[in-house]
Amino acid sequence: MKNRILYFLKEERGTYVSGEEISNRLGISRAGVWKHINSLREEGYEIDSKSRLGYMLIGEPDLLLPSQVSYGLSTEVIGKVIHHSMEMVSTNREARALADEGKPEGTVVVTERQTDGKGRLGRTWLSPPGGIWLSVILRPGFQPLHAPKLTLVAAVAVAKTLREEAHLDTKIKWPNDVYIGSRKICGILTEMSAELDRINYVVLGIGVNANVDVAPFPPEIRDRATSIMMELGKPISRVALLRALLTQFERTYFLFLREGFEPIRQEIKADSYTLGRWVKVRHGKKDIEGEAVDIDKDGALLVRTIEGRMVTIVSGDVGEEQKTSTIYNA
């Protein structure tokens, strides 16, 4: 009901709406209207009230509140239910707990800051206020071995969203990052609960440095990180961006479910940061060095080594290497 009152005020923005009109339109008591208006004010909405005129929405909080994000969101599955709180340890952790309780596909968890945001392999993801830190619960019907492709599906969706909404020249760094130039603007962490031949759920965690200042980050991270605000020189509407991201993610996810990985693969190849570069990848216990030449039909990275051997990298960290001319000519 609270959201219906909010949406009513949004539609009538710029004019006062009487308590009586709201109560008639939505079928609740005047006291009920007043109670919900106060609760909206507590969330940070500025609602003016004038004794004979009624209520007018004059300011909205810059928070990723479900009431804000859901307004005008036209997805079918993704983000139909959004869990939000001002602070979480990690949205992936929260989403896994919700998925264990049986929450459906498309459930989104989002927060303003994480106190222990997770990267891959136990690494830390710095998550101050201003970013978009979210996780999506997915329950795909395919075999667990296909799950890693979802990281790439998400990367395509993020890259496209930042290109369309913020006009940034995004590139996908295999397997889980989105870059602007040589700096990371987004990282993705995919976690799964599965049996041998069946996925229980996948939690897809996406961290986008939206209105984040990376200056306070430790130098080794700061020098390789950027944010939308830093690229544009001004903050962006995080609510609009999250809405666009959920919409784009659903489109890309549905495309993947319908047509398989090939269209996703083509998008990654077209916007790849990694392909064509000289890379060093940890492969089992060894480091493989060579040129990243292709993404295969399963989303794996193909690296051609100095000896001309083709190595398929299924997962791992890709570091860039300076290709020295002596090695190259050897």
- Per CB under 6 A, residues contacting ligand BT5 are 90-92, 114, 117-121, 123, 125-127, 133-135, 176-177, 184, 187-189, 205-207, 209, 221, 225
Q: Which is nearer to ligand BT5, 20 or 287 (CB)?
A: 287
- Nearest approach, Cβ of residue 131 and ligand BT5 (Å): 7
Burial classification of residue 81, based on how many CB atoms lie within 10 Å of its CB (0-12 exposed, 13-18 middle, 19 or more buried): middle
DSSP secondary structure code for residue 196 in this structure: T
Chain center to CA of 303: 28
- Nearest approach, Cβ of residue 53 and ligand BT5 (Å): 43
- Distance CA(319)–CA(305), nearest Å, equals 14
- Nearest approach, Cβ of residue 123 and ligand BT5 (Å): 4
Q: Which is nearer to ligand BT5, 67 or 91 (CB)?
A: 91
Report the residue closest to ligand BT5, judged by CB: 187
- Distance CA(262)–CA(105), nearest Å, equals 23
- Nearest approach, Cβ of residue 172 and ligand BT5 (Å): 13
Q: Which is nearer to ligand BT5, 56 or 81 (CB)?
A: 81
Q: Which is nearer to ligand BT5, 208 or 303 (CB)?
A: 208
The position carrying tokens 């690296």 is: 303
Q: Which is nearer to ligand BT5, 84 or 118 (CB)?
A: 118
Go through 295-318 and write b for each residue having 16 or more CB atoms within 10 A of its CB, e for each that does not: beeebbbbbeeeeeeebebebbeb
- Distance CA(169)–CA(266), nearest Å, equals 17
- Nearest approach, Cβ of residue 283 and ligand BT5 (Å): 17
